[in-house]
Structures are given as structure tokens and as C-alpha cells.
Amino acid sequence: MLKPIWRWRRPYFLLLAIVIGALVASCGPAEDEPKSVEVVDTPVPATEVAAATAVPVTPRATATPVPPATHTVTVASPLPSSTATATLTPSATSTVTPTGTQTRQPTNTPTDTLVPSPTITLISGAPPPVPKLPEGDYERLNILLLGTDDQPGRPSQRTDVIIIVSVNKTTATVNMLSLPRDLYVYVPNYSYQRINSAVYLGETDGFPGGGVALLKETIHHNLGIPIHGYARVNFDGFRTIIDAVEGIDMLVDCSLSDYRLKSPDLDPTEYDNWEWTTIDAGLHHMDGETALWYARSRVTTSDFDRNRRHQILLRGIWRRFDAASMWDRIPDLWDAFSDTIDTDLTLDQILSLVPIGIQLSPDMIESHFIGPDQVEFVQSPQGGSVLVLKPAAGQDILNRFYTPPTQNRLYQESPRVEILNRTGEEYLDLVAQERLAWEGFDPFISTRDDKEPLAETMIYDYTGVTKGGSLEVFQRVLDVSSENIVFQPDPDRTVDYLIILGEAYDACTYNPWEGWEQVN
């Protein structure tokens, strides 16, 4: 049996996660797609009530140039070793290869469906702060990864990517939470605003400690999460860093299509400089430019899906740095980071993460998102499309974010899971392995010789447990019907579950377009 596809064992892991994670967080909107910051210039008196009126939300037109009919472009898949190993073998950088097919829009372009928003009345004046999330018996370090869209000549200080990384020092685990930039919250001293305007307000009005201090206070006030440190960058250094590590291997579960500049040196205002690009599900080696495009695209998806892709990129970067050849280059790379990252983390805080990095493994890290299920789509008093956190659903995701993976029922079960690829497509077993790792499993790739294509995905359950637990998660994540579950209890089993991926396997079990018509 092969070892899992990746394993994080290095004491440097969390130090690099903070730094490189901030670089991923820097990936703001696609080129020339500005979105104005909604700002209230003066504090709102305590007697004023801000009401969000229920009206249909009309889709916004993107500012990305849409060229006339151009070539359909598919990014070529890399060709690494066909045998899964403990680390992914770097492959040839994905290239853009035009074909002769003429097209303007992707196959799954969302329709402009108008969705009426519910009536939301915000309480007058300053709302009471949300109670602090219970710490339990755990010692935590909560780090804010921020990305701004600052560019030469456009220093807007708009924070378009906000990820909270909670390091549980007691259990040696990590939880990540992505916050949508349009989350409508109470910004202390400024009434209700999009959360991504807090840094701008704090910087321009001289808030004590600056804009990040105001954002920290905003998060604590609205979510009950104390922030102990931050790392902030813009995206200018992102390409350089990815290229400095010779690119990253990305396991893509949902295909992505969008317009892309043929070269970063070309004028983005010229239509002929753009071409339609598609990255299909599978394994792709990305250079800095491709990774930046993948992280920033949202024309055919949504901000929610982009937040998910940011965390996919984080994991891809971490896998790359776990390659043994990378650690000798840390001093040089650290020098490169120092010019692009703004942080208030102290050396003692960073050193305290070293023992955790030694123990960390894939099933000890969890990804969480505030998504469509946790928010209401409404209009702000100023007329903008914003997101208001649902009380019950929002509290549930926050509680899960603060629960260490070691308390996860699936982690405690620790089933032995084998994945066999009979889809007829290379690398989809690696994608399935990655998806299950996100759920807290530690599956391995099968070495069985039976690779003939199979029509449907099958799951063989050798445990004898017919309800709940791991099996339900497998069905949800891999989209497997109950008819394709085979129960074969075996007390002498060497694995608990055998998952055979068939030709019908679709790695994209998310809805990348959910929320598109409301917030794009």
C-alpha cells in the first residue's frame, strides 16, 4: 500500500503557512474588475435604524473586458508519474493552447435569475458584541490572513480576501475560516458596512492601531473570535513567490473557465489580448501567473467558490513546500517574503508553532467557509448587494470552526480507506483522495492491477456498520447512490472501505455558481 498523497511533518510548516497563506490571500478580483468600497463617512447616531429593503438583486456586470469571439483555450494537463507517491512530482507548467473552436461563453454560464431578498431590519445604533466563542481547555493562536487589491497607482486598501487561521496549540491542529468580502457587519464607530471596508476606514480616519486593528475589532465584535496576529500582502509578489518554488501541483475538483490575458505584459484594455481558458478537473502544475488567474477568477463562478479555491491553493503550496528539496531554500525565500508581507507576529509567536508543525498531518486541518447556507442576500440602505449572517446557521459554522479536528467523529473513527481509479482518466483518484482529506479522512491510492473502466462508482463496506458515520460522508462527497453500496462485512479485513471510481464520477460535487446572481 502506498502512503497518503501528502504528509506535513516539518517544523517549519506553520511558519510558512502564515507567510505563504498571506500570499494566497492577496489574490483579489480579476484584472480591471474594481468594486467600490461602500463607506459611511461619519458614524451613524444611535437613534438611526438601518433597514435592508427586500428587492430583487440584479446581477452586476463584470468590468473584465469581454473580447469578441475568440479561440476556446484548454490548459494542458501535466504528465507526472502515474504512480502516486508521498509527494506530488512537479510536472510541466500548464500552457495555453488555442483550438479552432469559436465560442464566447462557457458551457455552464449562470443565467441572470433574479432572486428576491428577504426584509432585514438592522437594530438601531451599536449592536451588543457577540459573546466570545468558548475557548474550552484549549490554547489558541488566531491569525488573520489578509489580501488587498493594492496596485501601483491604485492604493485602495480594500481587503478582498479574509481568512482566519486558528492554531490550536493544545491539540496541535489547525482550522481555517474564509469570510466573504460582502459580509455586512457592524464596524465599531462606523455603523454597518461590508467587512472588506474596515481596513480602509481605519487607515483613512486614523483608527488607533490602523486599519487592521479596526478589522480585528470588527471580527471580534461580530463573530466573537479574538485575533492575535495578522499577515497582509497584495498580489504583486504572488507570481514571483510561486515561480521561485518552481510552481505548484494543484488538484482541481471543479473545472474553471474564464477569460485570461494571453500574456501578463499585454494591455488588459485591448480585447484582442484576451482568450478563453479552461482548466479541467484533475492534476495541474501551475506557474505563478496561472495560479494567480485560478485564484482570482470569478466571472463564471462566485465569491464563495473563489474563497474555496483560495484554500485549495493553500494546500497546494503546502504540499510543494513539503518536498524535501524545498527546505534548504527557506532562508532565501524568507528574504523574498520580507519585502512583500506586513505582519505583527512576533518571533516568540512564530517559534511557538514549531512543535505543532512537527505533528501536523492532513486529517488535523479543517477548512470552513461562510457560504450561501449561512447568509441572507439583501440590499444595504445604500443599495448595494450584501450578505447578512443568519443567526443559527452562522453560529453553527463558528462553533464547528472552533472545534478541533480531534473532536470530529470521523477523525475518531479513523477508517482505513482505499481508492481505486477505474474512470479511464488519470489523476481523478488523487482528486478524490484530496476531497476526502478535506473531510478528515486519510485514504490511500490502490495498487491493484484492475484498472479497466467501470461505469458507476462503487463503495464496498467491509465494516458491517450500515448507518451513519463515514459511509454517509463518502456518498455525499463522491455523489454515490445507495444502490452502488455493497455491504460485505469481513472481520479479517485489511481495509474498512474500498472506493472504486467509475466513469460517471464527477469530482465537482460543489455548486461553483451558487450565489453568483446575487453577489457578482
Distance between CA atoms of 483 and 475, rounded to whole angstroms?
11
Write down the residue that cell numbers 464596524 correspond to. Answer: 187
Check which CATH number belongs to the domain holding 486 and give it.
3.30.70
Distance between CA atoms of 386 and 365, rounded to whole angstroms?
30
Do residues 359 and 491 share a domain?
A: no
Distance between CA atoms of 194 and 50, rounded to whole angstroms?
13
Instruction: Please give the DSSP secondary-structure letter assigned to residue 171.
Output: T
DSSP helix/strand/coil, 431:
helix
Backbone angles phi, psi at 182, to 5 degrees: -95, 10
C-alpha closest to that of 456 among 480, 436, 474: 480
CA angle 260, 77, 269 (to 5 degrees): 5
Beta bridge partners of 102: 71
- Note whether residue 265 is domain-resident: no
Distance between CA atoms of 96 and 262, rounded to whole angstroms?
8
Do residues 377 and 467 share a domain?
A: no
- Note whether residue 431 is domain-resident: yes
Cell numbers given for 366? 479543517
Distance between CA atoms of 284 and 434, rounded to whole angstroms?
14
Do residues 22 and 153 share a domain?
A: yes
pLDDT tens sequence across 501-510: 999 999 998 7
Backbone angles phi, psi at 12, to 5 degrees: -85, -5
Distance between CA atoms of 162 and 323, rounded to whole angstroms?
28
Write down the residue that cell numbers 482541481 correspond to. Answer: 252
- Note whether residue 24 is domain-resident: yes
- Note whether residue 465 is domain-resident: yes
* Last-in-domain residue among 373, 404, 435: 404
Do residues 437 and 397 share a domain?
A: no
Q: pLDDT tens track of the chain, all 520 residues?
A: 333 333 333 434 455 555 545 445 445 444 444 333 444 443 333 333 333 333 333 333 344 444 444 433 333 333 333 333 334 444 444 444 343 333 434 444 444 444 545 555 666 678 889 989 888 888 999 999 988 766 544 445 678 789 999 999 888 888 999 999 999 999 999 989 999 999 999 999 999 999 999 999 999 999 999 999 998 876 766 777 788 788 999 999 999 999 999 998 899 999 999 999 999 999 999 998 899 899 888 788 888 888 888 888 877 877 787 665 565 565 666 666 677 778 888 767 777 776 776 677 767 788 999 999 999 999 888 888 899 999 999 999 999 999 887 666 656 678 999 999 999 999 999 999 999 988 888 899 999 988 899 999 999 999 987 666 789 999 999 999 999 999 999 999 999 999 999 999 999 987 665 554 444 4
Q: Which residues, in sequence order, are CB contacts of 508 under 8 Å at separation 6+?
A: 253, 254, 255, 281
Per the structure, the count of domains in the chain is: 2
CA angle 72, 78, 84 (to 5 degrees): 140
Query: Cα 187 vs. chain centroid, distance in angstroms?
Result: 25
Check which CATH number belongs to the domain holding 149 and give it.
3.30.420.590
Do residues 400 and 424 share a domain?
A: no
Do residues 383 and 493 share a domain?
A: no
* Last-in-domain residue among 404, 431, 452: 404
Do residues 150 and 46 share a domain?
A: yes
- Note whether residue 180 is domain-resident: yes
Write down the residue that cell numbers 463607506 correspond to. Answer: 39
C-alpha closest to that of 122 among 220, 199, 222: 222
pLDDT tens sequence across 191-209: 899 999 999 999 999 999 9
Cell numbers given for 119? 426584509
The per-residue DSSP string of 120-139 comes to EEPPSSPPPPPPPPP-TT--
Do residues 42 and 153 share a domain?
A: yes
Do residues 357 and 227 share a domain?
A: yes
What pTM was computed for the model? 0.74
* Last-in-domain residue among 404, 424, 450: 404
CB-CB contact of 354 with 330 (8 Å): no
Distance between CA atoms of 404 and 47, rounded to whole angstroms?
41
Do residues 129 and 163 share a domain?
A: yes
Distance between CA atoms of 460 and 444, rounded to whole angstroms?
15
C-alpha closest to that of 505 among 438, 421, 445: 421
- Note whether residue 242 is domain-resident: no
Do residues 361 and 496 share a domain?
A: no
Whole-number pLDDT of residue 148: 74
Whole-number pLDDT of residue 330: 58
- Note whether residue 413 is domain-resident: yes
Do residues 391 and 465 share a domain?
A: no
Whole-number pLDDT of residue 332: 66
Range of the domain at 222: 13-52+118-235+342-404
Whole-number pLDDT of residue 94: 46
- Note whether residue 17 is domain-resident: yes
Backbone angles phi, psi at 145, to 5 degrees: -100, 120
Cell numbers given for 228? 492575535
